Structure 1
Amino acid sequence: MVQVIQASNLELHEVEERFNLQEVRDLEFFSEWQGEMSAPSGFEKQILDKVKEDFLVIAKYSPSEEIIKLTVLAHLLFSAGLTSPPFFPKAETPVEISFEDGNEVIRGRIDVLILHERLWAVVVEAKRHSLNVSEGLAQALFHMMSSPNHETPTFGFLLNGTEFQFVKLVKQQTPQYGLSRLFSLRNPGNELYSVLSILKHLKEVVLQ
């Protein structure tokens, strides 16, 4: 009898063990989120300042994933150019992985998937504001392992409205992943500026 496991129930160690997945903490592995990048325009900064101001109020009411996508994620993806051709966003994309012995299947749904040609450019996992952003890492890695990308990296974006983190997955030989630092609306200034700059840079990396 085939055992069906929901990706949302997986813990990080389970994903690492099932896929022989290794975390790389060397900063050079995930260099795409670092270095000099173009800053948001003055108009974009005004929008991002408004997004931060509004969401810090909304956060007091324990917003759901849907509200986070609507009030924060939508602005970021649109401003980064990830909702326009040649990129195509898809929501609630079902994925499934069967293992060689045929006795186990893992199923899940990707919150937001950004497609470029036949490749997955960015996998987005949004979590309730009451959850730490790292709670979405195991699920995001499973979804990224489902991607058809074998020669090029897949990038992930985790958020819970006030916290944001990027993930890079490389599946050549032994699968490896790396994480960016954590960005937070609770920090001084507006770290959405950096988040948007990184999203724009990842878009250019995929286009290259």
Structure 2
Amino acid sequence: MVQTLQASRLNLYDVKAKFHIRQGQNDRFFTLLLQDAPALSDLEKQILDRTKQQYLYLAERPLLEVTVKMVTLSPLLSLAGFYEPPFYTTLEESIEVVSQDGAETVRGQIDVLVLQNTIWVVVIEAKSIQYDVMMALPQALTYMISSPQRSPEIDSKKDLFGMITNGREFRFIKLNSEVELTYTLSKVFSLSETENHLYDVLQILKAIAQIILEDS
């Protein structure tokens, strides 16, 4: 009998064991994306500066996940072009993925999913400010593993991208299955720093969008 599990209850050890995924050596992928990214416009910087100020004000009180999405994610997704064709952004998308041995089915809901046709551009898992950003990693990896992009009918060799956030901190994920299922992480971009790391987050999101458009 196949056992059904909720993705939100899995820890990182569970995900690695059930789906035979490992963390790769830190590569310079996201660092290189930033180095090659075009500069942001003055208007984009003004919007992101205001977004940071609004977040820091609201973060003086407990923030729910839905508030994180409204305050920080929505401006980033808009500026990255994910609310415009050919992309489509949806919330609370249901997924189901079977473990490597076929004994368990994991179900869950992706917080934010950006698509281009049937290809998942980026999976975003958000937690409230009370949680460390890495608390979102097991769920994000589970959702990325379930992507239809990994289907043999499409192309399982292309990288998949994800982002985890608690509103204050952001971290990107790259999933590769060319040889074995492997993920790598970007550095942490934090709004606790003096400089506005939302600039970096937006530049990476724009770069990911460009990669997907060039590959499509």
Give the TM-score range, shorter chain.
over 0.9
- Tell me by how many angstroms 1:61 deviates: 0.8
Question: Which residue number corresponds to residue 170 of structure 2?
Answer: 164
Change (3 A) 1:94 1:13: same
Separation (CA, whole Å) in 2 of partners of 1:168 and 1:101: 24
Question: Which residue number corresponds to residue 122 of structure 1?
Answer: 122
Change (3 A) 1:194 1:25: same
- TM-score computed with the length of structure 1 as normaliser: 0.95
- Tell me by how many angstroms 1:167 deviates: 0.3
Question: Which residue number corresponds to residue 77 of structure 2?
Answer: 77
SS in 2 for 1:156: strand
SS in 2 for 1:35: helix
Where in structure 2 are there 5+ consecutive unaligned residues?
A: 150-155
Where in structure 1 are there 5+ consecutive unaligned residues?
A: none
State, as a whole percentage, how many aligned pairs show the same letter. 40
Change (3 A) 1:99 1:162: closer
- Tell me by how many angstroms 1:22 deviates: 1.3
Question: Which residue number corresponds to residue 192 of structure 1?
Answer: 198
1:83-131 per-position Cα deviation (integer Å, ceiling 9, x unaligned): 1110111111110112465542110100011111221110000101110
Separation (CA, whole Å) in 1 of partners of 2:28 and 2:55: 33
The runs of 4+ residues in structure 1 deviating greater than 6 Å are: none
- TM-score computed with the length of structure 2 as normaliser: 0.91
Question: Which residue number corresponds to residue 158 of structure 2?
Answer: 152
Asked if 1 retains the 8 angstrom alpha-carbon contact of 2:18 and 2:101, the reply is no
Separation (CA, whole Å) in 2 of partners of 1:170 and 1:148: 14
Residues 10-19 or 101-110, more deviating: 101-110
Change (3 A) 1:115 1:100: same
- Tell me by how many angstroms 1:172 deviates: 2.2
Separation (CA, whole Å) in 2 of partners of 1:152 and 1:101: 24
- Within a 5 Å distance, the mapping from 1:24-35 to structure 2 comes to 24-28=24-28, 33-35=33-35
Separation (CA, whole Å) in 1 of partners of 2:99 and 2:200: 39
- Within a 5 Å distance, the mapping from 1:106-145 to structure 2 comes to 106-145=106-145
Root-mean-square deviation (CA), in Å? 1.5
Separation (CA, whole Å) in 1 of partners of 2:174 and 2:99: 23
